[in-house]
């Protein structure tokens, strides 16, 4: 990698790290991690997710066991999502993800295969 490219990548990294959206996400994450009740809710959601995925793999998505596990997962996720600090984190994550998608599109968009319409217009 040449020096100019390396410098530009470092500049991009620095700009991304100092972006206010990154700072807001870091702050929201710190609040999330500091709350033990949220850690418990997150653990319950992760356990329910693992159980659902295992049952779905072993019994099939349409099985009664999978449907019940999905219901439990939904309830666990809902309990977590109802917490104000979890909602704030989710909002900040989405906000930052938009930035990352834009950067990705700028950097790699020209290299992606373009989908063309197969219908010919006269």
Give pLDDT tens digits for 59-110.
999 999 999 999 999 999 999 999 999 999 999 999 999 999 999 998 888 8
Q: Which residues contact 96 (CB under 8 A, 6 or more apart)?
A: 19, 21, 22, 24, 25
End-to-end CA distance of the chain: 47
Mean pLDDT along residues 12-29: 92
What's the confidence (pLDDT) of residue 101?
93
Question: Does the pLDDT at position 122 exceed 80?
Answer: no
Four-residue CA torsion sign, 63, 65, 66, 70? positive
Mean pLDDT along residues 10-14: 91
The helix/strand/coil state of 83 is: coil
């Amino acid at each position: 990698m040449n020096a100019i490219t390396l410098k530009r990548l470092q500049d991009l990294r620095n700009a991304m790290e100092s972006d206010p959206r990154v700072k807001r996400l870091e702050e929201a994450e710190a609040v999330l991690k500091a709350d033990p009740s949220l850690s418990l809710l997150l653990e319950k959601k992760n356990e329910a997710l693992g159980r659902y995925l295992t049952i779905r793999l072993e019994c099939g998505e349409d099985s009664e066991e999978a449907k019940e596990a999905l219901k439990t997962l939904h309830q666990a996720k809902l309990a977590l999502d109802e917490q104000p600090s979890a909602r704030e984190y989710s909002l900040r994550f989405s906000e930052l993800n938009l930035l990352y998608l834009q950067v990705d599109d700028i950097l790699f968009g020209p290299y992606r295969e373009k989908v063309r319409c197969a219908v010919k217009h006269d």
